[in-house]
Amino acid sequence: MADPRQLVPGTDRVLADPEVAAAAGRLGHRLVKHAVHAAQERARAGEISPGRIVAETLAALPESASSIRPVLNATGVLLHTNLGRAPLSDAAIHALHQAAGTTNVELDLHTGRRGPRGAAAVAALLAAVPRAEAAHVVNNGAAALVLAATALAQDREIVLARGEMVEIGDGFRIPELLTATGARLREVGTTNRVRLDDYRSALGPDTGFVLKVHPSNFVITGFTSSVPVAALRELGVPVVADIGSGLLHPHPALPREPDATTALSDGADLVIASGDKLLGGPQAGLLLGGAEIVHRLRRHPLARALRVDKLTLAALEATLRGPSTPTAQRLRQDRADLLRRAERLADLLTAAGIPASARRSEATVGGGGAPDVALPSAAVALPDRFAKLLREGRPPVLARIERDRCLLDLAALAPEHDELLHRAVLAVA
Ligand SMILES: *Cc1c(COP(=O)(O)O)cnc(C)c1O
C-alpha cells in the first residue's frame, strides 16, 4: 500500500483550489496558508485522508480576518462591557462603512480647505442637547475625565465626595485616573454621607473644580445623603458632573439615572458621559458644557492625544441623528412581548426534543447604568450544560446561569435575532 504521506498534495496545489484561493483573497494569504499546513499535517499523521485537505482547510478558516465576531447577548444585561456594550443602530453601521475609506472628515468640500474635524458630530450633539453651549468628543469617558482634570485642575485640587470614589471595572478607579493627571484629590464626607458644608470647607485658592460622579455600578442604601448638582453650583466654583451612562434626557424607565440636559439645567459647568452606554452609540467620551470651558479643553495639547477617529465620528453622528437605537428599543420592550417570544422559542425547541421552557426573568441595564433597576424580561430555560456549548457555538451565544439553569434572556436581543438563537441552540443540542 502506498504511503499516505506521498499522496498529500503540495501547498501550492491546495492554494490553487478555487475556494481556497477565494478565501485567501478575503482573509489574506498567510492565514490561509497556515490552515493548509495544519490540514497537510493531519493528513500526514493519518488523521484525515489526503482527499479531505481542501475541505479541512476551508472548515478551519475563520469567518473574517479579525477575531472579533458577532455574539448573541442572551445574558439579560443590555450593556455588557465584555460584549462591547451598546450594539450600533443600522444607521450608525452604515455611516461606519461609509467612513471606512477616504473621507471628508477634515475637509470642507465647498471651499476645498481644511475643515474642522468632528464638527458634524458636535453639531448633532448640540442639536440633541440644546442646553449645552459647546461640546467636544474624545476616546471614552475615562479620557474625558483625564482631559477635564488636566486642563482644569493640574497642580490644583479636585473636590470629590468619598462615596463617589468609584471603581469603573477591571480595576480602573476614577480617583487613580484623576491623580495620574497631576491633579490632587480633596476627599469630602464619609462613605455614606456628604453635605454641602463638607464641600464648602474644602474649597480654597487651589480648588480646580468640584466633581460629581454618578455611582453607576452600585447603590448605597440606608442612612445616606449626597449633594445634588443644583446645590453644588452655589459653591461658586466650576462643577463637573460625570453622569456615566450618556442619557441625554430623562428616561421614564430609569428615574434615578442622571442625564446631560438635567445636569446642565441644574448648573453643571461641564458634563462628562460615555457614548457606548445608554446613548447607544460607539465608544466615545462626551464633554458638554459652557462655551469657554469646552474651548479650554479643546485647545489643550492633550486633546490631540485623546481625539477620536473618523469611524467613531461617523457612528456617533448617525447615532444622534438617526432612528432610535437598539439600546433605546430594548429599554422600551414590555414583558408580555418578551414572554411571547420566549414561549415561541421554547415550543420550537421542545418540538425538536430539547427540554426548554419559557419563564419570566429580570434583566439589568449593566455597563455602568441604573444599577438599581430590574427590567421585566423573559427567558428560555435550558439545562445548564447548554451554557458552555452555546458559548462555543457559531455564532457564540452568551447565556446566564441562574439556579443551575441556563437562561437565554431575551431583553438584550432584538426580535430579529430570535431565529439565529433558535438555530444556534438546535446546532449544539
Ligand atoms: C462608565 C463610566 C466611566 C468610564 O467611561 P468609559 O467610557 O468606560 O471610559 C466613568 N464614569 C462613570 C460614572 C461611568 O459610569
Residues 32 and 264: their CA atoms lie apart, in Å, by 54
Q: 2 falls in which pLDDT band (50, 70, 90)?
A: low
Q: What is the pLDDT of residue 285?
A: 98
Distance 244 CA to ligand 1 centre (A): 5
Strands 405-409 and 357-363: unpaired
Residues 6+ apart with CB under 8 A from 374: 362, 363, 364
**At 318, which amino acid appears?**
A
How far does the chain reach from its first CA to its final CA, in angstroms?
41
Q: What pLDDT digit, counting tens, does each position of 196-234 carry?
A: 999 999 999 999 999 999 987 777 888 888 999 999 999
Q: What is the dihedral of CA 111, 113, 114, 116, to 10 degrees?
A: -20
Tell me the average pLDDT across 298-305: 97
**Helix (H), strand (E) at residue 150:** helix 141-153
Distance of CA 3 to the CA centre of its chain: 54
Q: Which three cell numbers stand for residue 2?
A: 502506498
Other CB atoms within 10 Å distance of the CB of residue 252: 7
DSSP-derived pairing of the beta strands 239-244 and 270-274: parallel
Say if residue 3's pLDDT is above 70.
no
The residue that leads in pLDDT, 179 or 63, is: 179
Look at residue 4 in the predicted model and tell me its pLDDT: 56
Residue 321 pLDDT > 90 = yes
pLDDT of 271 above 90: yes
Q: Please report the pLDDT score of residue 137 as a whole number.
A: 98
Q: Lowest-confidence range among 341-345, 393-397, 421-425? A: 393-397
CATH top-level class for 90-323? alpha beta
**What pLDDT score was predicted for residue 224?**
84
Residue type, 282: P
Distance between CA atoms of residues 9 and 51, nearest Å: 9
The residue ranges of every structural domain in the chain are: 4-60, 72-83+329-428, 90-323
Q: Are 217 and 168 in contact (CB under 8 A)?
A: yes
Sign of the CA dihedral with 251 first, then 252, 257, and 258 last? positive
Residue identifier of the C-alpha nearest atom 6 of ligand 1: 141
Please count the residues of the chain: 429
**Residue nearest ligand 1's atom 2 by CA:** 244
6 pLDDT band (50/70/90 cuts)? low
Angle formed by the axes of helices 53-60 and 29-44, nearest 10°: 130
From ligand 1's centre to the CA of 368, what distance in Å?
7
Q: Which of 79, 82, 178, 216 to mutate to test the pocket of ligand 1 (most atoms within 8 A of CB)?
A: 216
All three cell numbers of 212, joined, read 460629581
State the pLDDT at residue 317: 98
Distance in Å, CA 24 to ligand 1 centroid: 40
Nearest-CA residue for ligand 1 atom 12 is: 244
Percent of the chain surpassing pLDDT 70:
98
The residue-averaged pLDDT of 32-61 equals 95
Each residue of 108-145: pLDDT tens digit? 999 999 988 999 999 999 999 999 999 999 999 999 99
Q: What is the pTM of this model?
A: 0.93
Q: What's the helix, strand, coil split of the chain in %, to 5?
A: 40, 20, 40
**What residues have CB less than 8 Å from 369, skipping those under 6 apart?**
79, 216, 244, 245, 247, 254, 257, 277, 278
Mean pLDDT of 274-291: 98
* Ligand 1, residues at Cβ distance < 6 Å: 140-142, 166, 168, 213-214, 216, 242, 244, 274, 285, 368
Query: Percent of the chain, pLDDT > 90?
Result: 88
pLDDT at 219: 79
pLDDT in tens, 142-174: 999 999 999 999 999 999 999 999 888 777 899
Q: Is pLDDT above 80 for 45?
A: yes
C-alpha distances out from residue 248 to 126, 263, 277, 279, Å: 10, 10, 11, 7
Cell 470629590 maps to which residue?
Answer: 160
Tens digits of residue pLDDT in 338-381: 999 999 999 999 999 999 999 999 999 987 677 788 999 999 99
Q: How far from the centroid of its chain's Cα atoms is residue 24's Cα?
A: 32
Residue nearest to atom 8 of ligand 1 (CA): 141
Tell how far the Cα of 248 is from the centroid of ligand 1, in angstroms.
Answer: 15
pLDDT at position 218, please?
78
CATH number of 72-83+329-428: 3.90.1150.180
Distance 278 CA to ligand 1 centre (A): 11
- What is the crossing angle of helices 18-27 and 53-60, to 10°? 20
From 242, 272, 308, mutation site for ligand 1 pocket: most ligand atoms within 8 A of C-beta? 242
